[in-house]
Amino acid sequence: AQSVTQPDIHITVSEGASLELRCNYSYGATPYLFWYVQSPGQGLQLLLKYFSGDTLVQGIKGFEAEFKRSQSSFNLRKPSVHWSDAAEYFCAVDPRRNNLFFGTGTRLTVIP
């Protein structure tokens, strides 16, 4: 079945530590891939996107993501987390039909 999986429901990291949020997808062809962030009570903000080409994608706020075709993964990373990064993060997949399918989200807590 087609799906987007974010295996970590909740992650806690210390401020200044590195971060990696996992995302795996199950679709026939390589879809378009996205990461969105949602701060408490807010809407969705696009962090970065992958359509094709270079598998390491740079986004806003110092985030990057790496597409690995062999693993059907699109993990989000940040080398040094700031307290303002506390939010919920959603991986989303567009199987080239202009329909986004979302993972269930990962809530990030940042401790001082």
Partner 1 sequence: EAQVTQNPRYLITVTGKKLTVTCSQNMNHEYMSWYRQDPGLGLRQIYYSMNVEVTDKGDVPEGYKVSRKEKRNFPLILESPSPNQTSLYFCASSPGTGRNTIYFGEGSWLTVV
* The binder of partner 1 chosen from 22, 49, 62, 75 (CB under 8 A): 49
Q: How far is the CB of 39 from partner 1 (least distance, A)?
A: 12
Contact flags string 50-69 toward partner 1, x per CB under 8 A: -xx-----------------
Q: How far is the CB of 85 from partner 1 (least distance, A)?
A: 19
Size of the site for partner 1 (CB under 8 A): 23
47 burial via Cβ count (<10 Å: 0-12, 13-18, 19+): buried
Angle subtended at Cα 47 by Cα 1 and Cα 37, rounded to the nearest 5 degrees: 75
- Window 74-93: contact mask with partner 1 (x via CB under 8 A): ----------------x-x-
Burial 7-34 (b: 16+ CB within 10 A, else e): eeeebebeeeeebebbbbbebeebbbbb
Residue 69 structure tokens:
């075709």
Q: Which residues bind partner 1 (CB under 8 A)?
A: 4, 6, 9, 32, 34, 42-44, 46, 49, 51-52, 90, 92, 94, 98-105
